[in-house]
Chains A and B, each alone.
Chain A
Amino acid sequence: DTAVSQTPKYLVTQMGNDKSIKCEQNLGHDTMYWYKQDSKKFLKIMFSYNNKELIINETVPNRFSPKSPDKAHLNLHINSLELGDSAVYFCASSQPGAPSYEQYFGPGTRLTVT
């Protein structure tokens, strides 16, 4: 059973388009996250979402917006895509208050903007 899943695995699109990446977790966790791994392989937090509380990393452009239809899903919407948005995007989840508070990561979505 896949704990955290993402679709699509690969996404190639042109500049200026709007796209979405879906994330689902079946762990019953209350908190979900989006991370971006750039071309230099550096992973940085973009968003945390917990019980309708959204915490945004201040460096994330407002073209990026997370949407949570329910507790098990946190989708990432990106408007007006730019070349610099090309990266691998990882979704993750964790359970606040759990003994370990461990984060579980999805397999990643490789976004290429041409």
Chain B
Amino acid sequence: KQEVTQIPAALSVPEGENLVLNCSFTDSAIYNLQWFRQDPGKGLTSLLLIQSSQREQTSGRLNASLDKSSGRSTLYIAASQPGDSATYLCAVRGSGGGADGLTFGKGTHLIIQP
């Protein structure tokens, strides 16, 4: 059974710092991995999706990497801003090929101090 772990559970840093959020998963047989952002009381915003054959994806100040063999992904946020404050969720899709859903981690609650 797939399990996804995110470290740290919470992180508070001053504005302008570069930071890394970590995600690990127990079963390397994945189809893809998605990083989401969730603001308090809101839905999920997809940030980046990495296919199992890819090593990284970039969008603006965000860069996500994937090492499938070791079961790890990182989300790098450059030049953090207060608006980046949110909970970041990592989720993996299995490679079973059926109508399987995503397995989520418990998230990293990020606070960027002005």
Inter-subunit contact A108/B43 (CB<8 Å): yes
| B104 CB contact (under 8 Å) in A43, A53, A102 | A43
Inter-subunit contact A100/B51 (CB<8 Å): yes
One digit per residue, 1 when the CB lies within 8 angstroms of any chain A CB and 0 when it does not, for chain B 103-114 equals: 110110000000
Inter-subunit contact B32/A100 (CB<8 Å): yes
Q: CB of A80 within 8 A of chain B?
A: no
User: Bound complex: CA of A107 vs CA of B43, how far in Å?
Assistant: 5
Q: CB of B61 within 8 A of chain A?
A: no
Given A102-B46, A102-B49, the answer on whether A45 and B99 have CB atoms closer than 8 Å is no
The interface residues of chain A, by DSSP majority, are classed as: strand
Given A43-B89, A100-B32, A100-B51, the answer on whether A105 and B43 have CB atoms closer than 8 Å is yes
How many A-B Cβ pairs are below 8 Å? Answer: 64
Inter-subunit contact B43/A41 (CB<8 Å): no
**Number of chain A interface residues as a range:** 20 to 34
| A90 CB contact (under 8 Å) in B31, B43, B99 | B43
Inter-subunit contact B102/A103 (CB<8 Å): yes
Q: CB of B93 within 8 A of chain A?
A: yes
Q: CB of B78 within 8 A of chain A?
A: no
User: Bound complex: CA of A105 vs CA of B46, how far in Å?
Assistant: 9
Inter-subunit contact B107/A41 (CB<8 Å): yes
Chain B's closest residue to A48 (CB) is: B99
Q: CB of A61 within 8 A of chain B?
A: no
Q: CB of A8 within 8 A of chain B?
A: no
User: Bound complex: CA of A108 vs CA of B40, how far in Å?
Assistant: 12
| B99 CB contact (under 8 Å) in A50, A99, A105, A108 | A50
Chain B: minimal CB distance from A45 (Å): 4
* 21 A-B pairs with C-beta separation under 8 A: A33-B101, A35-B102, A40-B106, A42-B104, A43-B91, A45-B101, A45-B103, A48-B98, A48-B100, A48-B101, A50-B98, A50-B99, A53-B99, A92-B101, A99-B51, A101-B93, A102-B32, A102-B49, A104-B46, A107-B42, A107-B43
